[in-house]
Amino acid sequence: MHAVPITATKRLADYAKVIGDERYEELRTLAKAAKGRTMLHINATAYGGGVAEILQNLVPLLRDVGVDAHWAVLDAPAAFYDITKKIHNALQGMKLDLSDAEKKLFLDVARENAAQLTDADVVLAHDPQAVALRHFAKDPKRASWVWRCHIDLTAAHQPVWEFLRPFVEEHDASIWTMPQFVRPDLKQKVLIQAPTIDPFSVKNQDMPIDEAREVVRKFRVDPARPILLQVSRFDPWKDPLGVIDAYRLVKKEVREVQLVMIGSLADDDPEGQEYLDRTKEHAGGDPDVFLFTNLDGVKDREVNAFQRASEVVIQKSLREGFGLVVAEGLWKGIPVVAGKVGGIVIQIEDGVSGYLVTSSEECAARSLDLLRDPALRKRMAQAGREHVRQNFLITRDLRDQLQLVAPVARASYAGR
């Protein structure tokens, strides 16, 4: 396990103009109760994926309000991430079983990393990769341990869940995105906290539309023509092949439309390159289909630009824990057409701030509705931005974290 350097600085005071005085003062009060407490977040990777993105912004903000917050990532061989990707897919419904050798390696990595744990008042272990750390901690009762599940487990393959469940239940509490995700056989204190985005991060901060279009133009995409955009990892759950199918249906009606798909190749996702190759093959050399990754220089600023320059953001997920990119698109005033799954359904009010769909055909039809009706796009954009402001900005996540780390939260755990 090694610490992630925290180089960014955040100031809670900067968010007052976005969230309003009442919420700002509530956070200041909570911060006084939590001041001086220590918190450690542990996950699998410092780059790529929603968890890393949240922590890059949340940890500096926690520090600004007086919490001694730290972030560490696991040290593990490549084979470990093959196993955890298999676990991830099994928890989302694939009938994949773990061999005894895979279970042993998974637990060996947890044991080795647990030996390097540092003291903290609260430890948040994120997702299956970090779930067994508490089991091997030398003195686990010195901290309040919370497991954060970012995955939709409603269709979890039971044998894999049964392997993980005892490690989950050793924690003092677990955090889930939605009540529907919580396993009915879980015997534990449960908290419901949806993920959030930072309006002042490089990916979400204000950007003039002319600047956004200039960035897009550098990647040989024409900002004067309509753009459909999906930003997500290249994996089967994000259905990139289905997105291309939807685009082809749209193109029959709107010949000038372009499709841009952007995904990061993360350290903990060994399938990423393989599924990117499958997506390229499915695109079939169409000059109006653009596939970019972080290796092409498309990072946070570029994603920001593409989202702002697009007419429609698509997130055609088949399973989804939350989908931060939905909130990102809505915050930028771009209507979103997304899969009717997981945490997406609490971000989009169907027909008000975007559309929820269940097929490529539906995705194409709703995208066409938006492309043909600028007034509809504007109306949905306004509704979506306000919904995100009220529910999915990082200051709400900060509130939840402060309630965890404040002495009153620790006392409530001890008294269970």
Q: What is the pLDDT of residues 50-67, one digit of tens each?
A: 899 899 999 999 999 999
User: What per-residue confidence (pLDDT) applies to 315?
Assistant: 97
Specify the CATH number for the domain of residue 236: 3.40.50.2000
Q: Same structural domain for residues 344 and 387?
A: yes
187: left (phi over 0), alpha (psi -120 to 50) or beta: beta
Instruction: Provide the mean pLDDT of the chain.
Output: 93
Start-to-end Cα distance in the chain: 30
The answer to whether residue 204 is domain-embedded is no
Cβ–Cβ contacts within 10 Å for residue 249, how many?
15
Residue 267 has pLDDT above 70, yes or no: no
The answer to whether residue 343 is domain-embedded is yes
Q: Same structural domain for residues 59 and 165?
A: yes
Contacts of 212 (CB under 8 A, 6+ apart): 223, 304, 305, 306, 308, 309
Residue 247 has pLDDT above 70, yes or no: yes
Lowest mean pLDDT among 85-94, 159-168, 305-314, 400-409: 400-409
Contact between 50 and 81 under an 8 Å Cβ cutoff? The reply is no
How far is CA 321 from its chain centroid?
Answer: 8
What's the token pair of residue 256?
């000038």
Name the one residue in this structure whose structure tokens are 């993980």: 164
User: What per-residue confidence (pLDDT) applies to 8?
Assistant: 87
The answer to whether residue 383 is domain-embedded is yes
The residue-averaged pLDDT of 203-225 equals: 97
Question: How do 68-73 and 38-43 pair as beta strands?
Answer: parallel
Q: Same structural domain for residues 135 and 122?
A: yes
Indicate the pLDDT class of residue 412, thresholds 50, 70 and 90: very low
Q: Same structural domain for residues 168 and 257?
A: no
Q: Same structural domain for residues 260 and 289?
A: yes
Q: Same structural domain for residues 183 and 261?
A: no
Please choose, from the candidates 28, 34, 33, the residue with its C-alpha nearest in 3D space to the C-alpha of residue 67.
Answer: 34
- Please count the structural domains in the chain: 2
Q: Same structural domain for residues 370 and 387?
A: yes
User: What per-residue confidence (pLDDT) applies to 414?
Assistant: 37
The answer to whether residue 61 is domain-embedded is yes
Host domain of residue 218: 209-391
The answer to whether residue 398 is domain-embedded is yes
The residue-averaged pLDDT of 85-108 equals: 96
The answer to whether residue 31 is domain-embedded is yes
Residue 409 has pLDDT above 60, yes or no: no
Q: Same structural domain for residues 82 and 171?
A: yes
* Crossing angle between the packed helical segments 240-253 and 272-283, to the nearest 10 degrees: 20
User: What per-residue confidence (pLDDT) applies to 47?
Assistant: 79
The residue-averaged pLDDT of 82-106 equals: 95
The answer to whether residue 28 is domain-embedded is yes
The answer to whether residue 202 is domain-embedded is no
What's the token pair of residue 51?
């968890």
Q: Same structural domain for residues 238 and 104?
A: no
Please choose, from the candidates 295, 294, 284, 290, the residue with its C-alpha nearest in 3D space to the C-alpha of residue 310.
Answer: 290
Please choose, from the candidates 43, 37, 42, 71, the residue with its C-alpha nearest in 3D space to the C-alpha of residue 56.
Answer: 71
Indicate the pLDDT class of residue 184, thresholds 50, 70 and 90: very high
Q: Same structural domain for residues 177 and 87?
A: yes
Q: Same structural domain for residues 98 and 170?
A: yes
Q: Same structural domain for residues 399 and 387?
A: no
